[in-house]
Amino acid sequence: MYEVVSHGVSFAFSQEQEQIRQLAREFAEAEIRPHVAYYDETQEFPHEIFRKLGELGFLGILIPPDCGGAGLGAIECAIIVEEIARICPAVALGVAAHNGLCTYHIYRYGSQALRERYVRPLAQGETLGAWGLTEPGSGSDAGAMQTIAIRDGDHYILRGSKNFITHGNVGSIAVIMAKTDPAKGKRGISAFVVDKSMPGFYASKKENKVGMRCSDTASLVLDDVRVPATNLLGQEGEGFQQALAILDGGRVTIAALSVGLAQGAFEAAMKYAQERIQFGKPLIEHQAVAMKLARMNMEIEAARLLTYRAAWLRDRGEPFRQEASQAKLFASEIAVRTAEDAIQIHGGYGYIKEFPVEKYWRDSKLLTIGEGTSEIQRIVIARSLLEQYRSK
């Protein structure tokens, strides 16, 4: 034995963080797990679950107490989303989007008046938030958006539509990116807080999705909506940069969601591999299955480390864009792979709804697409690498 006095790297969570993980886990096991199949089948939005999440403070994680939130950081947000995703990735997606995109965007860039009016009810879970960047004609190429905002006295008039918006239907408050100066392209984009009490702002088509089915995904229509100029977030032209910064944080949360999903699928596979007997012994005693499980677990642990490191950097106020993209890219891809392997281990039973793994598999695919596709993550990482390693 020897003693090492080490300063600087610690893999331990604090006692409060462990308590938060335990709370999120117990809540997910008791209040979400019994209803997972129902909500997946019906695509109904789980209002009752979100009401309870709001009561616990899970809808205002990143918001300081003086604005009605819990005053926690990216690590705690990742812990909560991971634990919920382990049971139901679709509920976790709502928690991630509500906290990290809409609520935090308004808090970070909004005036004190906007914080009071919008952030407080969002953080307390009285209402849900949506975030509108994507449009029917612009996904990864967000700069090509068509929605415009025309100044009219002390208002802006917003015209256009947004697509694939989480909480498009159930959310009553949204952050909407729109072009105030179309000639300037990306630099002409601004961000606004828009709420459903404003005439002309409504949800249209609710999507019928392959996975994440109880997560509310809809289109938003902006039919000449008059938005007070005071609802502009920050300055005109800052919208695109704001959106990128918000997405950096969002990607850490999606990485955590991916880790939780993979963990849930892995645990189901571990259980089945010990119970199922083939050729006279449990599946796990067949080397092909054992080795698959060993790799699945290793990849989850690697994804978890990338995720919490990115969250840790964010909480320290250090740059974390590259790390967030790396965590999101790796974690989402291993989530898809882990869920697929979990089905393979289950064989035919993995393909039917009596077992939980087919749902993890359907839910997983969104993670390599939403909040920046895997391809976009690679571009972000490569650009960041070029900055660091540029030859003179």
Partner 1 sequence: MTILACISYVPDTAAKIGVTADGSGLELGGAKYILNPYDEFAIEEALLQRERHGGRVVALTVGSDAAKEILRTALAMGADSAVIIPATGLDSFGVAANIAAYAKAIDASLVLLGRQSIDHDSFQMASTVGALLGVPSISVVSKLEIESDRVRAERDIEGGKEVLEATLPLVVSVQKGINNPRYPKLPEIMKAKSKPIESVEPVAVSPRAAMVRYQVPQLKRANKILGDSDADIAEFVRLLHEEAKVI
Interacting stretch for partner 1, rule CB under 8 A, among 63-71, 99-107, 352-360, 372-380? Answer: 63-71
Report in angstroms how near the CB of residue 23 gets to partner 1 at its nearest.
6
Q: Which two tokens stand for residue 172?
A: 């009553």
Measure CA 59 to chain center. Answer: 13
Question: If binding is defined by CB under 8 A, does position 15 make contact with partner 1?
Answer: yes
User: Phi, psi at residue 70, to the nearest 5°?
Assistant: -95, -15
Neighbour count for residue 29 (Cβ, 10 Å): 13
CB 133 within 8 A of CB 243: yes
Report in angstroms how near the CB of residue 253 gets to partner 1 at its nearest.
16
Helix (H, G, I), strand (E, B) or coil at 281: strand
- Any idea how long the chain is? 392
Question: If binding is defined by CB under 8 A, does position 61 make contact with partner 1?
Answer: yes
Report in angstroms how near the CB of residue 31 gets to partner 1 at its nearest.
9
Interacting stretch for partner 1, rule CB under 8 A, among 20-28, 40-48, 174-182, 183-191? Answer: 20-28
Neighbour count for residue 70 (Cβ, 10 Å): 21
Q: What angle do CA 46, 37, 301 make, to 5 degrees?
A: 95
| DSSP string covering 110-167 | S-HHHIIIIIHHHHTTSSEEEEE--BTTBSS-GGG---EEEEETTEEEEEEEEEEEET
Nearer to partner 1 by Cβ, of 27 and 156: the residue is 27
Among 35, 37, 43, 71, binds partner 1 (CB under 8 A): 71
CB 213 within 8 A of CB 90: yes
Report in angstroms how near the CB of residue 257 gets to partner 1 at its nearest.
18
Question: Each residue of 231-246: b (16+ CB within 10 Å) or e?
Answer: bbbbebbbbbebbebb
Report in angstroms how near the CB of residue 354 gets to partner 1 at its nearest.
25
Question: If binding is defined by CB under 8 A, does position 107 make contact with partner 1?
Answer: no
Interacting stretch for partner 1, rule CB under 8 A, among 68-76, 197-205, 210-218, 346-354? Answer: 68-76
Question: If binding is defined by CB under 8 A, does position 301 make contact with partner 1?
Answer: no
Nearer to partner 1 by Cβ, of 61 and 256: the residue is 61
Question: If binding is defined by CB under 8 A, does position 70 make contact with partner 1?
Answer: yes
Nearer to partner 1 by Cβ, of 14 and 204: the residue is 14
CB 164 within 8 A of CB 134: yes
Among 34, 65, 185, 228, binds partner 1 (CB under 8 A): 65
Measure CA 7 to chain center. Answer: 32
Nearer to partner 1 by Cβ, of 23 and 198: the residue is 23
Among 28, 32, 62, 72, binds partner 1 (CB under 8 A): 72
Catalytic entry in 135, 207, 333, 371: 371
Report in angstroms how near the CB of residue 65 gets to partner 1 at its nearest.
6
Query: What does the alpha-carbon distance between residue 317 and residue 308 come to, in Å, rounded to a whole number?
Result: 14
Query: What does the alpha-carbon distance between residue 332 and residue 320 come to, in Å, rounded to a whole number?
Result: 18
User: Contacts with partner 1: how many residues (CB under 8 A)?
Assistant: 17
Nearer to partner 1 by Cβ, of 23 and 157: the residue is 23
**66: which DSSP letter?**
G
> Strand pairing partners for 189?
179
Report in angstroms how near the CB of residue 80 gets to partner 1 at its nearest.
8
Nearer to partner 1 by Cβ, of 28 and 329: the residue is 28
Where in 21-60 is the site for partner 1 (CB under 8 A)? Answer: 23, 26-27, 55-58
Nearer to partner 1 by Cβ, of 14 and 140: the residue is 14
Q: Which two tokens stand for residue 316?
A: 């320290």
The verdict on whether 135 is a catalytic residue reads no
Question: If binding is defined by CB under 8 A, does position 381 make contact with partner 1?
Answer: no
> Strand pairing partners for 332?
none
Residues interacting with partner 1, by CB under 8 A?
A: 15-16, 19-20, 23, 26-27, 55-58, 61, 65, 69-72
- What residues are annotated to the active site? 371
